[in-house]
Amino acid sequence: MVDTRVTLCGIEMDNPVIPASGTFGFGYEFAELYDINCLGTFSFKGTTAEPRFGNATPRIAEFEGGLLNAVGLQNPGVDAVIAKELPKLREVFHKPVMANVSGFSVEEYVTVVEKLDTCPEIGWFEVNISCPNVHGGGMSFGTDPKAAEEVVCAVRRVTKKPVIIKLTPNVTSIADMAKAVEAAGADGVSLINTVLGMRLDLKKRKPLLANTTGGMSGPALLPLAVRMVWQVYNAVSVPIVGLGGVSTAEDVIELMLAGATAVQVGSANLVDPWAAEKIVHTLPETMEKYGIKKLTDIIGGAH
């Protein structure tokens, strides 16, 4: 009998499988297909202070190795999430959930976290610092260590729940960014977020996405995610949530060997709505195949 349990920032999970924010809605949509309580947890749709319609369409484009998206953080805003989305989630999911928080200023991050902090369903905050800093000329918080530290410190002051910082790979050294947010008080890091990319329509001779560029995700990202998780594991002592191109139980084990404590499944959910469930159910037999008794024994095991 294998043991799939892991502990992420002090909270025990039945397994390390976490559908990623933006690919799983608020959970109840997928609960119509299967019992989502089989998951370790999931990270719900990125939430901002005010409602956002998102970017113009088209905002999804495919390529051979995955997807490009420029959805633009479409969400109903934090007040609607608390009033409408979380009550529906409570009916179908009975574990702590991960709240993904986005913002365009430090003040917005604080507002969203402060409001969600009162919700008993929230186990962790996953703070996405890939948003443009409107007070800093539009540069992403996640590409500037000082800006990232400012967000972490501000959020840390308004919650005692674990704060996991979602890092962008669009930097020179993701290990340096991880060290900066750890020093500022982050309880963990998740990586990698999408890589900036674009596609062109050959007939129109124009970008396929209305936003011109978008975030690249899918299987092509797995080697990049493994490399960055490996580097961050060597740089920090806080737990890592690994993501990027995960579609099988083998991918989960690979990222854990590189240093991840838990693993998120993103674009695979959009291609196959049962992807995360299949990974959960095939994980024990995959562990047996590779002689793994306890998942906690392999975290960083390739180093």
Residue numbers annotated as active site = 131
d(C-alpha 51, C-alpha 232), whole Å: 34
- Integer-rounded Cα Rg, in Å, for the chain is 18
Q: Regarding beta strands 200-201 and 206-207, do their DSSP bridges make them parallel or antiparallel, or are they unpaired?
A: antiparallel
Task: Kindly give, in sequence order, each residue whose CB lies less than 8 Å from that of residue 225, ignoring residues fewer than 6 positions away.
Answer: 191, 192, 242, 243, 244, 245, 246, 255
Asked if residues 192 and 167 have their Cβ atoms less than 8 Å apart, the reply is yes
d(C-alpha 177, C-alpha 167), whole Å: 8
User: How many helices, marked H, and strands, marked E, lie in the chain?
Assistant: 10, 15
Q: Residue 280 burial (CB < 10 Å; 0-12/13-18/19+)?
A: buried
d(C-alpha 279, C-alpha 17), whole Å: 8
Tally of CA atoms within 13 A in the half-sphere of 244 that contains its CB: 30
Per-residue tokens: 283: 């994980």
